[in-house]
Structure formats: C-alpha cells, structure tokens
Structure 1
Amino acid sequence: MGNAQKKPQGRGPRGGTADKYKVKAEGGSAAEESRKSLANGSSSNCTTQPGTSRPDSPVGKRTESTSVAGALPPPLAQLKNEGNQLFKNGQFGDALEKYTHAITGFTEAGIDSPEDLSILYSNRAACYLKDGNSSDCIADCTRALELQPFSLKPLLRRAMAYESLERYHKAYVDYKTALQIDSNILAAHDSVNRITRLLIEQDGPDWRQKLPEIPVVPLSARQHCTEPPPSTHSHTEEDTKEADRRTEAHFTSLKTEGNELVKKGQYHGAVEKYSECLKLKSDECAIYTNRALCLIKLECFAEAKQDCDSALKLEPSNKKAFYRRALAYKGLKDYEACSSDLQEVLHLDASVQEAERELAEVTALLKQHRATESSSQPRRNITITEVA
C-alpha cells in the first residue's frame, strides 16, 4: 500500500507515512561534499540545481567558526551514502540500520559537527516515518532540531508524524514554523488548512487559544525566495499528488470496510471506520449519512441527528439525510420534526415508499401523542347559572 529487507519493528499506530520531503542520494566523496552556505537574501535566490544540495540541507547562514559539514571520516561517510541509496531504493529498514551505525560511530568518535549529526538523525527519522513508527520519528526529528534549530526537513517530518498520531496542535505549530522558513511548500499549506478544520471541529471557535506558542523564525533562517525553482515546485506538486492518492486510497479502503461491517450488522465497528474516514475527508456527505444509519441502529438518536445535520449542510437536498434524520427524530419522540422531514423526502422524491409508510405511522403516533397530552391536562370546573 521488492527487495527483501530487514525492517525494524514499527511502534506507530498506523502504516507507513509518505514523506513529502524525500531523502536523496548524495554523490561524491566526503571531501567533495562541503557546500556553499545560504546567504541572507543574497546568493542565488534559491536556484540551486537538482542534485547539488545535500538531502537535509539546514536553513540559514553558517558562520566561519562552524565545523565544515560533510567532513565525515570515510567509514561514516560510506555508511551515510549507503543509507541514502537504500532509502532511494525503498529499503527503509536497511537504510535505518546504516544511519544508526553512522550515528553510533559519530558519537563514539566525538566528532564536532552538529550539522552532520542533525542530518543523520533527520534521515533516520524519514525511515521511521516510512515504516509508520511515528514516535521514534518525532524523537529523531527533535534531536536533529536541537542540533540544528529551524532545519526545514526535520520540522516537516515531525509535523507529519504528529499528524499521524492525531496530535494536531503540535503538528499545526511545526507546519506553521516550517512555512515561516519557506512559504512556498504547497503540501504544508494543505496540511495547515486540513488541521485547522479539524481543530475548529474539535476545540470550537477558540481553538487558537489552545495552541502551543509558535516560535518566531529568525530572518537568518528564512529562505528568501520570490518563486520556488521549477524543480522544487515540480517535486512538491508530485509529492502532494502522491499524498492525495494515498489519502484517497486509504479513505476508500476504510469506507469499503465500513460498508461491509454494516452488511454484517456490526454497527459499532462500522461507526469506527466511518469516523476514520471523516478524519481524512470531513466533507463527504455519504459518510455522515452512513454513520447516521449505524447510530440509529445503535439507538444513538441524538448523535445520528447531528450527522444528518452535517450532511444537510453539505448537501441541502440530500433525501437520505432527511429520511435518516426523520428516523432519529422518531427515536427521540419528536414526531412533528419527524413528520416534517418525511414530507421533505416525499417532496424531493414522491416514489420513496419507505417514507410514505413511516409518515403514516408517525401521523398516527402524533395524533395519539396529542390526544394523550389533551387528556392529561386538568379540566376546569365551570359553574352554570340558571336563567330565571
């Protein structure tokens, strides 16, 4: 959703996550890998050609006193390059092992190059993300950012891992921080919009007050680009399309599983599947009406009514939503509202026989209910005076 490989045990709650900011193989020897620093708003206005940058290039200008990045001892540089190649080939478990050996060797040798160590942690985090191990991905990204603050790729990977664990507040903060560094990342904008909708639904109109503080990225760490280079723009668009395809496939799979559970009468399980669908796509009317059906079967009438309300906001003329809301009202013994919705169904489609039968039954219930209310009211004694 190849090559035989040893994969580490993932502790994440879901399957692998598509890393939108891929690790590329690094060419050349360690001595050839030293790079030009990004100047503040000068240099080449972000027009680095493909293949010339390192896989996880930290953002910001390096000072003269900083150790030269890429000056790894040959054994560690080889481990890193092997890891990059394995990652490129999709062998994420084997790549993870190479990065782990490189990190161990790096720390044991006491090398003073925080930028290189940050890149190793970030690359290993990418492997964890692919393997669905979001918790370890977050831990490695945090280490990378401690070594190289405001480094773009660890921020984005950690945001994706937080989002996969439904820790939306922290994911939002990391995405917004990343967009301060580079405002041209379309996938990050899409993620912010998606999470914003979830947080509004979850926390209400005051959702911003519940966010952790968003750090202010210093100007020296920001990428001063008027437009993204064509290669970067194309790569981002491809990643976004790939992420959309994965989301759509996962959504369809969950919906199908939910439908199958309904057929088997397993309504609790179906509700869970439909709820997962709505986390991926909160504007799908059919999912609300499907979940409403399950909730009616489980006699959760108030919740079913809410789902029908949500469906009708999306599609004001959806007859399924009206019909199922009518059933929810019936369960709540609100027969007038039930009758009104059933009449709306028949107005939209006069051939719905189920609505006709329900309307006849509810009309009888409504008359009975009114008669009961009338008989229960105390009668007033009226004195009749004879006329002389």
Structure 2
Amino acid sequence: RRQRRDGLVPRCAAPGRQRGVPRGQYGPAAALYSRALAQLESAGDAPAEERSVLLANRAACHLKDGACNLCVADCTSALELVPFGIKALLRRAAAYEALERYSLAYVDYKTALQVDCSVQAAHDGVNRMTKALLEKDGVNWRQKLPPIPTVPISAQTRWSVPSAQASGANTPPATAPRGERGGNVPLAQTLKEEGNELVKKGNHKKAVEKYSESLKLNKECATYTNRALCYLTLKQYKEAAQDCTEALKLDPKNVKALYRRAQALKELKDYKSSIADIKSLLKTEPKNTAALRLLQELNRA
C-alpha cells in the first residue's frame, strides 16, 4: 500500500483483510451484511449489540472499497446502538483520516484509547493526526478540536484484558507509548482529557489539578506538556520548564516540550538555553513557523 510522504493514508483503506471476506469482494460482503440487518429489523426486537456488530462489519467493507462517507455513517449508527465500540471508533477514525477530516479522526482515536489504551493503531493514529493538525493549524491546534467524550469506567478495558480485536490493533505495545504505565492507565487518560476540556474553557488552574492527578497514575509525555502549557499561561515559568524537562526524558525530540521549555526559559531570561531548545526543535521540524519566530525574538533579546 502506497503512502504519501507525510505518512498519512492517501485514500480510504484500512490495514489488513477482513476475516472471511475474499480479496476484492467487499461490495458483495457489504450487501450480505445489509440483508442480515434487514432480516433483524423485520424480525423486530433485534439486540442492539448484534445490529451494531453488523453495521461495524459493513463499515469495514465500505472502508476497504473507498466509500468513506458510507463507512462513517455505518460507524456512527453502530456507536449510537453501542456507545464506545472499539471497532466502530477505529474504522470511523480511519475514514475521517482518509477524508482529511483530521480533527474528527483525532477525537475518535483519542476516544478509542480511553476504551483500550493498549491499541497500537489508535496510538499511531493520534500521532499522525497530531502532526497533520500541527501543520494545518499551528501550535494552537488543540483549541480548534471538537469536544472529546469522556468514556465511563464501565466501558474501559483494563490492561490485563486482551484488547478488542480490530484491524491493525490486535497486539498491545510492549510499553506504553511516550509514557510509563502506572497503576490505572485508563483513569489517567480520562483525567487528562478532563484537563484538556478545562483548558478549552480557560480554567488552567483546575486543569493543572487534573493533569497532576493523571501523572500520579501514569507518567505520559503529553500530560507533562499539557500541564506545562497551563503553567505558561499562569506565568509559573519554573514549573513549566520542569514539566517540559520531564517530558523530554520520555521523548527527547518532542516538539511541544522543546518549544514550551524555550518559552519558559525566555521568560526566565535564560536566553542561551532557550535558543538551544529552539535549535534542537528545528532539527526535527526546520519549517516550524512558531519556532522560527521565537528564535528571531530570542536573537533580538
């Protein structure tokens, strides 16, 4: 499968083959799922779970055939019947990604991680969408995101339970991506998302509390950089720099951590260290406009 230079999926396609569907026969398979759905509906009182599974399976066929909008519609219907279904979330995210609706894809990938944080396909999707949204909307891309739903504990999968079998997401990662496992990773993710929502509302002090609770359960790079952003807004520059340093221990080339530490160090008048961070960032993203702008300000300081 060919990919674009930026690593994003070039057309509506999902990794791997759907079990029981011969290669290239996804259209006929979708028709069979449609017949099965019609039979369930005509019988009446069809269990929501069965209808949701059939819709998610038909969505997978649409995804393979490049019918991304149909895939989105089926996944949405499946999720209305069974909220937070992992397969429907992942397949809808893949369809949104192929349609270049990156914000919606990001939300679905992040929601899937709340359900089961061991799904590597969701982690990979979040990383791709973060890169795409950063390039599209700049460093403040998070402010333009739709709300990310909070998955109830009852719908979350524990680390000790095998993840839902979804295309390209069958094997848990050996280590938690960009972080370290703690005692309750799903709860840590939920707390982080609550912090993100508070940031959107401008309540940075309360967000710091949520991020701090999350970090007690799971040391994750993104949580440190998110809390650092709050500290910057609150003008607590030493704390911001410290959080970025912790994030860089987990991910030495993390762009957000380097940029935000450079901002904090600039305010602390440590211009030399701030410039060093920006130059390190530019080795990874030489065309990062925000970093180039900050470097110009530092050189004038």
* Alpha-carbon displacement from aligned partner over 1:302-342 (angstroms, at most 9, x marks no partner): xxxxxxxxxx95698xxxxxxxxxxxxxxxxxxxxxxxxxx
Do the aligned partners of 1:184 and 1:227 also contact (CA within 8 Å) in 2?
A: no
Which residue number in structure 1 is paired with residue 128 of structure 2? 194
Which residue number in structure 2 is paired with residue 119 of structure 1? 53
Which residue number in structure 1 is paired with residue 145 of structure 2? 211
Measured in 2, the distance between the counterparts of 1:234 and 1:165 equals 19
Aligned residues: 170
Percent identity for Structure 1 against Structure 2: 50
Which residue number in structure 2 is paired with residue 18 of structure 1? 14
| 1:247-262 map, 5 Å | none
Tell me the amino acid that sits aligned with residue 102 of structure 2.
Y
| 1:286-305 map, 5 Å | none
Which residue number in structure 1 is paired with residue 157 of structure 2? 223
* Alpha-carbon displacement from aligned partner over 1:117-158 (angstroms, at most 9, x marks no partner): 011110000000000110000000000000000111000000
Unaligned runs of 5+ in 1: 2-12, 25-84, 239-311, 317-388
Unaligned runs of 5+ in 2: 2-8, 173-281, 287-301
Tell me the amino acid that sits aligned with residue 33 of structure 2.
Y
CA distance change for structure 1 residues 129 and 236 in 2, over 3 Å: closer, same or farther?
same
Which residue number in structure 1 is paired with residue 188 of structure 2? none
Q: Please, which of 117, 130, 148 is the counterpart of residue 183 of structure 1?
A: 117
Tell me the amino acid that sits aligned with residue 150 of structure 2.
V
Matched, 1:171 2:167: no
Do the aligned partners of 2:18 and 2:167 also contact (CA within 8 Å) in 1?
A: no
Tell me the amino acid that sits aligned with residue 145 of structure 2.
L
Which residue number in structure 2 is paired with residue 150 of structure 1? 84
Query: When the two structures are superposed, what TM-score results if normalisation uses the length of structure 1?
Result: 0.40
How far 1:91 moved relative to its partner?
Answer: 2.0
Which residue number in structure 1 is paired with residue 75 of structure 2? 141
Moved over 6 A (4+): 231-235
SS in 2 for 1:130: helix
Which residue number in structure 1 is paired with residue 95 of structure 2? 161
Query: When the two structures are superposed, what TM-score results if normalisation uses the length of structure 2?
Result: 0.51
| 1:24-63 map, 5 Å | 24=19
Do the aligned partners of 1:15 and 1:131 also contact (CA within 8 Å) in 2?
A: no
CA distance change for structure 1 residues 91 and 209 in 2, over 3 Å: closer, same or farther?
same
Measured in 1, the distance between the counterparts of 2:135 and 2:92 equals 23
Q: Please, which of 5, 25, 31 is the counterpart of residue 97 of structure 1?
A: 31
Q: Which has the larger radius of gyration?
A: 1
Measured in 1, the distance between the counterparts of 2:35 and 2:168 equals 34
Do the aligned partners of 1:168 and 1:195 also contact (CA within 8 Å) in 2?
A: yes
Which residue number in structure 2 is paired with residue 67 of structure 1? none
Tell me the amino acid that sits aligned with residue 26 of structure 2.
F
| 1:314-333 map, 5 Å | none
SS in 2 for 1:215: coil
| 1:222-241 map, 5 Å | 222-226=156-160, 228=162, 236=170
Measured in 2, the distance between the counterparts of 1:161 and 1:99 equals 19
* Alpha-carbon displacement from aligned partner over 1:81-116 (angstroms, at most 9, x marks no partner): xxxx3x255521111110011111111221331110
Do the aligned partners of 2:119 and 2:171 also contact (CA within 8 Å) in 1?
A: no
Which residue number in structure 1 is paired with residue 295 of structure 2? none
Tell me the amino acid that sits aligned with residue 170 of structure 1.
L
CA distance change for structure 1 residues 117 and 212 in 2, over 3 Å: closer, same or farther?
same
* Alpha-carbon displacement from aligned partner over 1:329-383 (angstroms, at most 9, x marks no partner): xxxxxxxxxxxxxxxxxxxxxxxxxxxxxxxxxxxxxxxxxxxxxxxxxxxxxxx
